[in-house]
Amino acid sequence: CDTMTAPEWGPLCRLAAANADTDAAARAFFELFFRPLVIGDPPALFTGYFEPELAGSPTRTPRFAYPIYAKPPELTEGSPWYSRDAIESGGLLRGRGLEIAWLDDPVDVYFLQIQGSGRIKMPNGEVVRVGYAGKNGQPYRSIGQELVRRGSLTADQVSAPEIAAYVRANPGAGSRLLAHNPSFVFFRKLANLAADQGPIGAMGRSITALRSVAVDPAYTPLGAPVWIEKDGQAPIRSLMIAQDTGGAIRGPQRADIFYGTGSGAGSAAGSVKDGGRMVVLLPIDQAYAMMPDG
């Protein structure tokens, strides 16, 4: 709440801090001071993301040969920089000491960038937490949609496991497929983050499994409560908080649900591509200001 700068939030945050910590009190609080607002036209598109756990090394070895990089100092956020292909194939960052860690699979490097955070276990047992530090300013292009366009997968088949399997089974074509997405993400080490805490979201706070969502802040204010009605094989009806953003999360009825850490969370998140509806809860004055005329 301390990161909410809009004037409508200050009094509400103080009231929330003083409110009784019960379900009934929370429900009464939201019903009295907030209004639900459906921004855009449903159906929504819900996907899932997670924090992967990967093996890695602080130095390059015959096994660990694929680096993840810290942000170059000359990169200006929002300004176009070199593409993924130029960075990876051209070796633009090689030898500059920007390598945070080395992984053993280029597919893991790619999907770590998609997830935006991860835990990397070093050979000595140390676990290094990494989080989003910036990107190269190039547009995000879906390699799943590209596989559908090529006829390699159907739209129903597209998922993170299917894409990963395709790239690993077709190294040459797979490498070119990854380069189809020019967007490239840089990382930073996360210090002082307890093992039971989630990664750091766009608001600078640890996010929580099945309580935090990534949204498009052009439509959904960061920090706002969002009522999620997700359909599909594992329906969700739950109140979550808009705490994160993502390169592929664009539009008013678009949300990426955080599923947690590790392979189990990854399996759950990777299968999510569902419709439904998202309802943003906003302070009354802000909600009325955002309502369409008429």
Query: How many domains is the chain built from?
Result: 2
Same-domain status, 87 and 58: yes
Same-domain status, 274 and 144: no
Same-domain status, 148 and 272: no
217 is a domain residue? yes
Query: Collapsing DSSP states into helix, strand and coil, what is residue 113?
Result: helix
CB 40 within 8 A of CB 260: no
Q: Name the CA dihedral angle for 217, 222, 225, 228, rounded to a multiple of 10 degrees.
A: 40
pLDDT tens per residue across all 294 residues of the chain: 666 666 777 788 788 777 767 888 888 888 888 899 999 999 999 999 999 999 999 999 999 999 999 999 999 877 899 999 999 988 899 989 999 999 999 999 999 999 999 999 999 999 999 999 999 999 999 999 999 999 999 988 888 889 999 999 999 999 999 999 999 999 999 988 999 999 999 999 999 999 999 999 999 999 999 999 999 999 999 999 999 998 889 999 999 999 999 999 999 998 899 999 999 999 887 776 666 655
Same-domain status, 63 and 183: yes
Instruction: Please list, in sequence order, all residues whose beta carbon lies within 8 angstroms of the beta carbon of residue 217, skipping any fewer than 6 positions away.
Output: 202, 242, 245
Same-domain status, 226 and 258: yes
Supply the CATH number for residue 153's domain: 2.40.240.50
- Total-model pTM: 0.88
Supply the CATH number for residue 227's domain: 2.40.40.10
228 is a domain residue? yes
CB 18 within 8 A of CB 248: no
Same-domain status, 172 and 212: no
- Expressed as residue numbers, the domain containing 282 is 33-48+199-290
1 is a domain residue? no
4 is a domain residue? no
Same-domain status, 43 and 59: no
